[in-house]
Amino acid sequence: MIFSALNPVIKELQGRTIWIVGASSGIGFSLAKILKKSKNTLILSARREELLKENFPNSIVCPLDIKNDSSVENFFKTMVAKELSIDMVFWCPAIYAPMHIQDLNEELAEEIIIVNFLKTIRPFNKLKNYWIENKCTMRNSPQWIWISSVGGYIGLPGATTYGASKAAMNHFAESSYIELKKFNIHISLVCPGFVDTRLTKKNKGSMPLIMTSDLAAKQIVDGVKKGRFEIHFPLVFSLYLKLLRILPKRIFFFLMNILFKNGRWHD
Q: How confident is the model at residue 43, as a pLDDT?
A: 97
Pairing of strands 88-91, 143-147: parallel
Average pLDDT of the residues of the chain:
91
Contact 16, 141 (CB under 8 A): no
Q: Is residue 2 part of a domain?
A: no
Helical H runs in 68-140? 69-81, 106-116, 121-133
Into how many domains does the chain fold? 1
Tell me the pLDDT tens digit for each residue of 97-119.
Answer: 888 888 899 999 999 999 999 99
Phi, psi torsion values for 90, nearest 5 degrees:
-110, 110
Q: Is residue 4 part of a domain?
A: no
DSSP string, 49-104: HHHHHHH-TTSEE----TT-HHHHHHHHHHHHHTT----EEEE-------B-GGG-
Domain residue limits at 218: 17-242
Tell me the pLDDT tens digit for each residue of 62-87.
Answer: 999 999 999 999 999 999 999 999 99
Q: Is residue 262 part of a domain?
A: no
DSSP string, 154-171: S--TTBHHHHHHHHHHHH
Q: Is residue 6 part of a domain?
A: no
pTM of the model: 0.93
Look up the CATH number of the domain holding residue 105.
3.40.50.720
Determine the Cα–Cα distance for residues 37 and 41; give it in Å rounded to an integer: 11
